[in-house]
A and B are shown apart, each in its own frame.
Chain A
């Protein structure tokens, strides 16, 4: 008996309802059990379908729950899809999500009231429901429901500490910027419906693939519109500004939503729509360029950030850039591979930072940390492993995924973008080891009370760290490149993940790619490893060994440049000037002039006219009966005249 697919998102939805309605009254233990249990059950349910899928028949499965909209020629069903792509996404969304829920128990337990605790888990469950709906949907509209839902939960959870003005504002910012992306997504959906008269994945993609010449001209626009949605949701340039501020939310939220799952939705949609993009090469070029620009831009900003979570946030933006770069050049498998590995090590990093912040009693500024290695050993080692993975050091997971991306970019002959990717890899290693050094190495730079408070986190928090670190180590082995596998005796053309995801890519009439020679591949691997190691050593040397003297001197020599980078290139300020202020002005204009003066004025004028008429008419009421009688009579005479007039 098959567990129905709809049950997977439905379980967290039930968790949301229960925690939301009853949680306040029933206490933290109940909320913990339900909130984490619902996701746990969803994970089990998911894997009960995933495992047979992976190890058995890999034919796509569509399960329709029922009709949803049927309006003339427009009809959409509530239908879920299990294929390689959705299986991949579901596998780590549920698994990582589950462990983050477990982590949250330890993280949120002490500081929050029962009501706050229940609210947190309710929203987190609602998020899981939305995300799972997103990845399991069979049509664009149901996906959009999930898409909006994750945006909503992002807002709710970023603004979880709603009493802090900064957090509330950050939540709003996330929602508004996301909305801009969503608008693009909607336009894309309209376009799709206009072209294909359907929003169902199978229908759209098969129709497009069957007649490329007919649809290709329009698909550039449609694909770009959908990509705008991805830009918003996955924090690419220019819509990335919400992600760093989103760090105002609780750290597990940052780990789950803003590292492992929600932000990958953009990459998911691009990969899901690969047919459309591959038929619109110009759109793909845009995707690749934006991905590359975002990757390097965010990496540069991360160099000068002092808040531990902000560094990780910009790192996420940068890594997402890598994923889009991969998809943009056509290396979709590489992109999705990196999505998965990134989920493991980035979530581990965020949870680790949460552990650090928890131990520091809420402090997030790295300049006040240091020497935590001895006090928080578990956190340190897991953090280090995840950092090595992110930096791309073999044989950890990040190395394989990042290398696949870079090889793919090079293979498609986009050498400039490849160069950007290599430089960014170096920067990534550098700023990550800057982070590790400042936080864990050297001497403690904080206050005495903080030093006393330092303690390793409880098992509910360290267990997820261990599990995610382990996955960061072994997670890459599903995507080992051919040249390395040959060393170990495998003769297969494709690695595990390539084989797994290949059904997603319907064959189109594309130019045959030039496969790289073995020598070139080894060279590329070597270059990327060298870049990573260089960055690592430099970062460690400058910050751990030399206590940050050289960077301080550089900052002193170029103060304006340093400040510019530290202030994230003043992008927010620019947006405020270009967009926010004009809108505020417009809103005020519409209020004070259009609404108050014109509309209210018209209404008031109408009322005034009525009053005036009444004032004039009352003079008929003379109180004199004879006048009334005369008026009657005159009316009768008038009527008679009319009647006689008509009769003759």
Chain B
């Protein structure tokens, strides 16, 4: 058991725990905050998986922008605690639960038996985790088209969000 593995396991447990908290909490604001913690833990995992750049992106963009946006919206809409009303469609829960169990079982079974199998031997060189330029090089050569498309997508999202969320003009 190396240190990396230990730290990874710890961070993973934290991430899973707070994810569960997020799902279970009644108040959406608190859910967001738990998810923030979970994302931080995940960022640690990413670092341990020799992806520091992604970890940084995770913290800055995912935790720091997207979830903050969620908080803004919660506050804007003044979302209250979810009320304890009876579920009018209990069948939904039953079915969902059953399907989830089945799915989970399948997933873990699969991962147990095949996770890690069929991978090539470690003959290729391990990429340097500190070499940011390598990622940049890939982005601007092999993945140039998706990159540019992404920028267009972001523009579209920007315009779309703007149009969707504005108030109707009083006629």
Report if A and B touch in the complex (beta carbons < 8 A): yes
Interface residues of B in 81-96 (CB under 8 A from A): 89, 92, 95-96
Interface of A toward B, CB cutoff 8 Å: 624, 626-627, 630, 633-634, 636-637, 640-641, 644
**A640-B106, A644-B106 are contacts. A624–B99 as well, Cβ < 8 Å?**
no
A634 contacts B106, C-beta separation under 8 Å:
no
A634 contacts B95, C-beta separation under 8 Å:
yes
Question: Is B102's CB within 8 Å of the partner chain A?
Answer: yes
Residues of chain A within 8 A of B110, CB atoms compared: 644
CA of A301 to CA of B29, assembled, Å = 112
Question: Is B70's CB within 8 Å of the partner chain A?
Answer: no
Distance from A643 Cβ to chain B, minimum over Cβ atoms (Å): 10
Residues of B in contact with A, size category: under 10
CA of A427 to CA of B96, assembled, Å = 105
Question: Is B72's CB within 8 Å of the partner chain A?
Answer: no
A627 contacts B92, C-beta separation under 8 Å:
yes
Residues of chain A within 8 A of B99, CB atoms compared: 630, 633-634, 637
B95 contacts A624, C-beta separation under 8 Å:
no
B92 contacts A626, C-beta separation under 8 Å:
yes
Residues of chain B within 8 A of A637, CB atoms compared: 99, 102-103, 106
17 examples of A-B residue contacts, CB within 8 angstroms? A626-B89, A626-B92, A630-B92, A630-B99, A633-B96, A633-B99, A633-B103, A634-B95, A634-B99, A636-B103, A637-B99, A637-B102, A637-B106, A640-B103, A640-B106, A641-B106, A644-B110
Residues of chain B within 8 A of A641, CB atoms compared: 106
CA of A641 to CA of B92, assembled, Å = 21
CA of A624 to CA of B88, assembled, Å = 12
Distance from A527 Cβ to chain B, minimum over Cβ atoms (Å): 111
Distance from A145 Cβ to chain B, minimum over Cβ atoms (Å): 68
Query: 13 new A-B pairs (CB below 8 Å) besides A634-B99, A644-B106?
Result: A624-B89, A626-B89, A626-B92, A630-B92, A630-B95, A630-B99, A633-B99, A633-B103, A634-B95, A636-B103, A637-B102, A637-B106, A644-B110
Task: Name which residue of chain A comes closest to B109, CB basis.
Answer: A644
- Bitwise, B101-122 to A at CB < 8 A (1) or not (0) is 0110010001000000000000
Distance from A633 Cβ to chain B, minimum over Cβ atoms (Å): 6
CA of A636 to CA of B99, assembled, Å = 10
Task: Name which residue of chain A comes closest to B95, CB basis.
Answer: A630
Residues of chain B within 8 A of A634, CB atoms compared: 95, 99
Residues of chain A within 8 A of B95, CB atoms compared: 630, 634
Distance from B107 Cβ to chain A, minimum over Cβ atoms (Å): 9
B106 contacts A630, C-beta separation under 8 Å:
no
CA of A624 to CA of B110, assembled, Å = 32
Residues of chain B within 8 A of A627, CB atoms compared: 89, 92
Interface residues of B in 50-75 (CB under 8 A from A): none
Task: Name which residue of chain B comes closest to A640, CB basis.
Answer: B106
Task: Name which residue of chain B comes closest to A627, CB basis.
Answer: B92
Residues of chain B within 8 A of A630, CB atoms compared: 92, 95-96, 99
Distance from A622 Cβ to chain B, minimum over Cβ atoms (Å): 9
Distance from A91 Cβ to chain B, minimum over Cβ atoms (Å): 88
Distance from A125 Cβ to chain B, minimum over Cβ atoms (Å): 73
CA of A636 to CA of B89, assembled, Å = 22
Task: Name which residue of chain A comes closest to B110, CB basis.
Answer: A644
CA of A194 to CA of B28, assembled, Å = 91
Distance from A37 Cβ to chain B, minimum over Cβ atoms (Å): 78
Task: Name which residue of chain A comes closest to B100, CB basis.
Answer: A633
Task: Name which residue of chain A comes closest to B87, CB basis.
Answer: A626
Distance from B98 Cβ to chain A, minimum over Cβ atoms (Å): 10
CA of A254 to CA of B34, assembled, Å = 107
CA of A630 to CA of B103, assembled, Å = 13
